[in-house]
């Protein structure tokens, strides 16, 4: 009987070890909803959406925050942070229902050049959803050129199609609050991307093309969780944000790491000394949002380095969590194997 009990415990231990390995192994990331109009056959899977997602602003992770501050200091960017020439937001959305956030100057509104073109994209899909714009090949091509190639001509064409004032009406709406005076503003498009005068500068800072890092991060969080317009149209927008044709800043920095399964959904911006980049990044079963806005001639170089540091933070946090889970589970299993069964005690 004692021999049989020991054999049963060994079988149980092997089964639990196998289950633990399966639980800790990285899984492929998934998108919000499969589209009826895939672009470039980009891979996608459907997920069931939660009814309510938390506000990322309320989910600061103290450990991530400390790491972000340390990594930025290691890049000698503390003075840029102090002078508010740099703002950064980092949000881990590997589990979208429980995001973890860190930010520095996250509510500092800055000129963001082409990055607010993502707001034009949102307003366009609101028009599409309302039946005011036809989602045909021509419109999709124009929106893709506006985002992937950052075409100013395409952006101006879309502003005229959608309506400039309508874009900011969407951004300020209770549904999104992507421009919110209570949080020092946010995303704003108040001028065509052409040699014209501004039609409506933002009320707080009088910027023509502005953004804050945190409001931009919220945009990507709502995109990932299917809250921009609808799950279907969030997916359409995510597809357009994929496969950036401009290889600089975040893209250049991440590609240096040579991840085999790297996916980047991204929009950047550059004008004179102003630099901005924003992205939803996926690799090795991890998913996170990174945003940086800077005013400095070297801002583009900063962002190459910043994204590598932010990626390191996400990887190390997940590695630590996996190690803790593995150590705890194995200790529990070992303890269970060493405990004699009730039948063994009876035979003693």
- Residue 135: pLDDT over 80: yes
Q: Give this prediction's pTM.
A: 0.81
The pLDDT score that the predictor gives to residue 38 is 35
pLDDT of residue 320: 67
CB neighbourhood size of 343 (10 A): 12
Count of CB atoms situated within 10 Å of the CB of 173: 12
Answer yes or no: is pLDDT of 32 > 50: no
Residue 51: predicted pLDDT: 57
> 29-320 adopts what CATH topology?
Beta-lactamase (3.40.710)
Tell me the pLDDT of the chain averaged across its residues: 85
- Tell whether the model's pLDDT for residue 43 goes beyond 50: no
What's residue 195's pLDDT? 86
| 187 neighbors 171 (Cβ within 8 angstroms) | yes
Q: Are 67 and 102 in contact (CB under 8 A)?
A: yes
Q: What does the domain layout of the chain look like in residue ranges?
A: 29-320
Distance CA 234, CA 13 (A): 44
SS (H, E, C) 226-264: CCCCCHHHHHHHHHHCECCCCCCHHHHHHHCCCCCCCEE
The predicted-structure confidence for 212-223, as pLDDT tens digits, reads as follows: 999 999 999 999
- The pLDDT tens digits of the residues spanning 50-107 come to 458 999 999 999 999 999 999 999 999 999 999 999 999 999 999 999 999 999 999 9
Predicted confidence (pLDDT) per residue in 254-296, tens digit? 999 999 999 999 999 999 999 999 999 999 999 999 999 999 9
pLDDT score of 329 more than 80 = no
335 pLDDT tier (thresholds 50, 70, 90): low
Q: How far apart are CA 94 and CA 104, in angstroms?
A: 21
Q: Provide the 8-state DSSP code for 242.
A: B
- Is 343's pLDDT higher than 50? no
Q: Give me the percent of the chain exceeding a pLDDT of 70.
A: 77
């Amino acid at each position: 009987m004692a021999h049989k009990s020991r054999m049963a415990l060994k079988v149980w231990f092997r089964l639990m070890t196998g289950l633990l390995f399966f639980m800790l192994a990285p899984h492929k990331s998934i998108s919000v909803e499969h589209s009826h109009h895939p672009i470039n056959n980009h891979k996608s899977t459907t997920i069931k959406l939660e009814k309510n997602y938390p506000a990322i602003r309320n989910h600061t992770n103290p450990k991530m925050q400390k790491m972000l501050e340390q990594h930025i200091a290691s890049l000698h960017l503390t003075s840029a942070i102090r002078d508010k020439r740099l703002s950064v937001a980092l949000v881990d959305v590997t589990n979208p229902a429980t995001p973890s956030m860190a930010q520095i100057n996250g509510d500092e509104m800055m000129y963001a050049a082409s990055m607010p073109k993502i707001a034009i994209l949102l307003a366009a899909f609101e028009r599409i959803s309302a039946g005011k714009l036809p989602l045909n090949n021509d419109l999709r091509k124009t929106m893709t050129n506006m985002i992937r190639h950052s075409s100013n001509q395409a952006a101006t064409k879309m502003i005229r199609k959608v309506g400039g004032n309508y874009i900011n009406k969407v951004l300020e709406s209770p549904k999104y609050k992507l421009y919110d005076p209570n949080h020092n503003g946010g995303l704003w498009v108040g001028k065509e991307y052409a040699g014209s005068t501004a039609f409506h500068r933002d009320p707080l800072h009088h910027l023509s093309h502005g953004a804050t890092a945190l409001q931009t991060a919220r945009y990507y969080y709502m995109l990932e969780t299917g809250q921009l317009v609808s799950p279907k149209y969030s997916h359409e927008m995510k597809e357009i944000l994929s496969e950036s044709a401009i290889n600089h800043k975040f893209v250049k920095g991440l590609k240096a790491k040579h991840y085999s399964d790297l996916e980047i959904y991204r929009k950047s911006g550059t004008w004179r000394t102003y630099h901005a980049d924003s992205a939803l990044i996926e690799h090795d079963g991890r998913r996170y949002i990174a945003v940086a806005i800077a005013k400095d001639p070297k801002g583009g170089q900063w962002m190459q380095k910043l994204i590598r540091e932010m990626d390191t933070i996400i990887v190390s946090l997940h590695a630590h969590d996996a190690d803790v889970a593995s150590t705890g589970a194995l200790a529990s299993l070992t303890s269970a194997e060493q405990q004699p069964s009730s039948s063994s005690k009876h035979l003693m």
